[in-house]
Amino acid sequence: MEEAMSAADIGNPGPSPMEALIFPEVTDDDLDEGNKQVEYICPLCKERKIYVTSKELFFHMRIEHKLLIADSHLICDLERYLNYWHDRFQEEPIHALGLPTSEEDNKTYYVLCDQLQEDSELRQKLQVERLNIILRTQQKRETRCVLLKSVFVLSGALHRKSL
């Protein structure tokens, strides 16, 4: 027995063979944990005042606290770096940590730099964590990409081959 087709069925005959080529949308959360809106906090302010750009924050730190961050462009996760130092400065005052200083315009500035062992270790830890995120992201993308892993049937045996 044939079933009657409705008007909606005529324009929509069933699943198209092209549907196999449509992939589900992958969000940034699925692939890259490091891709989010960044908020910077001053490591020396008691209240957690948030700055949208690092430039604003660095200006504030220089003027208000006489604190500089050397090679800030090389810090791979500045947000976490600043959070670490914020917590650390709550435990001990800045002058007790033995930070290097710099003389500029007849003013003395404290400098967060990799000459301080704690700072160097923190920067390395953040780099390793960022590298791990990148590697996990790459693995997720490779496992989700049909073009990287193809299945071939040869002589009745199932073989997996990378393109």
Tell me how far apart the alpha carbons of residues 99 and 114 are, in angstroms, rounded to a whole number.
10
Structural domain contains residue 90 = yes
Q: Does residue 160 sit within a domain? A: no
Is residue 98 one of the residues assigned to a domain?
yes
Residue 3 lies in a domain: no
Q: Which helix (H) or strand (E) holds 129?
A: helix 117-144
Average pLDDT over residues 51-79: 93
**What average pLDDT does range 115-135 have in this prediction?**
93
Residue 156 lies in a domain: no
* Phi, psi at 81, each rounded to 5°: -60, -50
Confidence of residue 128 (pLDDT cuts 50, 70, 90): very high
Structural domain boundaries, residue 41 = 36-147
pTM (predicted TM-score): 0.65
117 lies in a domain?
Answer: yes
In a domain, residue 139? The reply is yes
Tokens of 29: 């959360």
| Domain total in the chain | 1
